[in-house]
């Protein structure tokens, strides 16, 4: 069985590459004509199919990312919310949206109690964060 591997692996790679090529779209082919890809896959026994797989997967991933709008954090914030550009998940204490919501909730609670007896330490209205004129932290 081990002696047959040098013959089986290139044939299996070529078959997989050709079948994958037949199911591909123009974006995945990187602007190369399908017959040229067939020649590359067939004439370069191991390198050709591996090149096809690498190029098609990379191009498909780039097309999916472009179609989805570039990933996370591209949605428009609600009116009155701070503008943020996220590149990935943030911890709550580093997330400006979370901190803004927390500050708004704290202010609502302070107004609800009227500032009397029910507020302590950091909940007092005089400990507020400087605002930008719209009621948002600056």
Q: What's the token pair of residue 123?
A: 């909940």
Q: What whole-number distance in Å separates Cα of residue 61 and Cα of residue 69?
A: 13
Q: What digits encode the pLDDT tens for the residues 47-89?
A: 999 999 999 999 988 888 888 776 554 555 555 555 556 566 6
Is the CB of residue 129 less than 8 Å from the CB of residue 138? yes
Residue 89 per-residue DSSP state: -
Q: What's the token pair of residue 64?
A: 């999916």
Q: Give the pLDDT band (50/70/90) at residue 118.
A: very low
137 beta partners = 131
Q: What's the token pair of residue 90?
A: 């943030």
Q: What digits encode the pLDDT tens for the residues 2-11?
A: 899 999 999 9
Say what the pTM is: 0.48
Please tell me which residue, 137 or 44, carries the higher pLDDT value: 44
Q: What is the CA radius of gyration of the chain?
A: 29
């Amino acid at each position: 069985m081990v002696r047959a591997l040098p013959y089986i692996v290139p044939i299996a790679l070529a078959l997989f590459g050709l079948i994958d090529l037949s199911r591909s779209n123009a974006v995945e082919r990187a602007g190369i004509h399908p017959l040229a890809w067939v020649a590359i896959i067939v004439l370069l026994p191991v390198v050709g199919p591996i090149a096809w797989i690498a190029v098609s997967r990379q191009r498909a991933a780039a097309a999916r990312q472009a179609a989805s709008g570039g990933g996370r954090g591209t949605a428009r914030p609600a009116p009155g919310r701070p503008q943020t550009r996220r590149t990935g998940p943030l911890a709550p204490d580093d997330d400006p949206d979370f901190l803004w919501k927390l500050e708004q909730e704290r202010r609502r609670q302070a107004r609800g109690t009227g500032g009397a007896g029910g507020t302590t330490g950091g909940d007092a209205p005089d400990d507020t964060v400087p605002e930008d004129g719209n009621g948002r932290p600056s």
